[in-house]
Every structure is written in structure tokens, then in C-alpha cells.
Structure 1
């Protein structure tokens, strides 16, 4: 009986390849058709980006407010090392005067924050990203909601 259970069928059933080939051909045709539709512009969000026009006002209401450069001593454990920092604030054009009026407070909060940073944290290669987000959050707290969109660091140099 054990020998009867171990036998294999003489003609193993072959799986039909027709559905596999048909699926492959359909995938190629549909992929090619989708590429053509996107490339030729039949799909609006396709391969070609629309060129900005004069009616595009996405950037018309943005103004950049330069901040005075800061030179910060890095503390007693840093020896005589200093940090030179300069930045610009991206603001709504309608609120540029309001933010400019608050510039001394912005400089104060940035100076205080950068002075408190540990030297070891500044040596980290990814520190600028974290510092930038922390400084932006503090600037937004000082200026109020909706006034400052971004903080652009233009100079960040150790001596």
C-alpha cells in the first residue's frame, strides 16, 4: 500500500498559458496607452507641467523680509567660537509691514534660542534642519498665526 501512495501521475496536467500571455499583452497595451495619453497631454496632470502664466498669483502675495545678521558666542565651553547667522522670513505681502514692526522681537527670540544651543548639537550634520524648524516655530509664536510662512536660512557659519 505504501508503494501505491508514492506513485506520481504519468501525465501531469499542464497549466494553460493562454491567460498569462493575454494578461501580459493587455498590461503592455494599457501601459503604452496610458503613457501616450499622459505624454500627449490628453490627461491634464500628465507628463508636461504647465508653464506659469501672468495670471498665476500663487507667488504674487509672497514677500521676503531680511533679518539683520546675528553673531552669537557659543558659550564658555566652546572657547572663542562664534556663529554667524542670517535669515529671511517668507511672509504674506499684505502683512509684511506688521512683521517688519515685530522684527526686534524676532531677532531677540532667535538670539536667545541660538545662544542656548549646545555646541555638540551644532556639530551634527542634520542639526540645521531641526534648528530651522524650532526657530520657525518660535518666530511664528512671536509674530502671531498666519503671518510668517517660512524661515529661510541664508547664512550659518562657525568660526
Structure 2
């Protein structure tokens, strides 16, 4: 059967509203999750107590949450142990020079527990033996202080054991 132009226009008119209806349905189905997600996020941040209630529904208690928040490696406030000023003479090809050095050591944990170890004669012996081997050329240049800090940190790690010393800070440094 041949189709007439009137039949074709009738089919087009029937499919046009169906296409419009499908587009609206698709738009509604796509916007629905976005609107629901936005509403949920707004409620999460704006309704007081909602996060705690959700955590309770999930089976976690607030004590567990604070415990989990404190366990990551966020040390909080750093603890420092200050060394008394060290003065020693340096070998300098016949020309005597003196070094005055003051250090502060950042420690892990309670400084009262580590302070006795840090201020022991063994630590001073190790540091002074290293410092007396320094030459003038090793204390000059842009990276000299960084090398010195790294070497002092390494010495302290060798004597005390790994993980006790976090950083070495040079608070006073005079070569005369």
C-alpha cells in the first residue's frame, strides 16, 4: 500500500509529542539525582547533629571517631630539647679558630623522657668528635648549614636509635 502525504504528516504529528515526552522524562531522570545529592549535602553541613546520628546508624561511636582522628601521624605540638652552648677549637692549618654552637633538637613524644638520653655525655662526645673534624671549607657556602644539620641529625640517630629525633635546629652558630 502506498502511503499518502496525509498519512506521513499524521505519523510525524504522533511521534513529535512522544519525542518531547521522552526528552522531558530523560531530563527529569538526570536532574533528580543531582537535586537529591545537593539536598543531602546541604542537610549534612547545615543540620546540627546529623553527622553524629548518621555515624550512630552506621555503628560507630563518637569515641571511635575521635580515636581514629588522633591516630594519624599528626604529632600536634612539637617538643624541643635545648642543648647548652658548645665552644670548641677547630683545626685550621696552624691558625686556631673557635666554633660556638647552640642546638635545639625536636623529639618525638614526651621531651622529659628523651631529655636524659639527649643530654648524656655519650651524645656530647659524639657531637664534639664530629665537630672537631670540620674544616673551614665545610662551613662555607649556601648549603653548609644544611649539611651540618643533616650530619648532626645522623649522629644523634646513630647514638639514640632511629625514630627518637625528628629534627635538629641550629639556634646559634659563630666561627671566630
Structure 1: runs of 5+ lacking an equivalent: 1-54
**Mapped partners of 1:78, 1:85: distance in 2:** 22
> Greater CA deviation, 95-104 or 85-94?
95-104
Aligned pair 1:88/2:97, yes or no?
Answer: no
Residue of structure 2 in register with 1:58 after alignment: 75
Among candidates 51, 71, 89, match of residue 87 of structure 2 = 71
Aligned pair 1:120/2:134, yes or no?
Answer: no
**Mapped partners of 1:124, 1:150: distance in 2:** 21
TM-score by length of 2: 0.53
CA displacement 1:14-46 (0-9 Å, x = unmatched): xxxxxxxxxxxxxxxxxxxxxxxxxxxxxxxxx
**Mapped partners of 1:116, 1:82: distance in 2:** 13
Residue of structure 2 in register with 1:110 after alignment: 127
CA RMSD of aligned residues (A): 2.2
TM-score by length of 1: 0.58
| Aligned residue pairs, count | 104
* 8 Å contact kept, 1:99–1:143: no
Residue of structure 2 in register with 1:153 after alignment: 170
* 8 Å contact kept, 2:108–2:164: yes
Shift of 1:124: 2.6
Structure 2: runs of 5+ lacking an equivalent: 1-68
Greater Cα radius of gyration, structure 1 or 2:
2
Residue of structure 2 in register with 1:18 after alignment: none
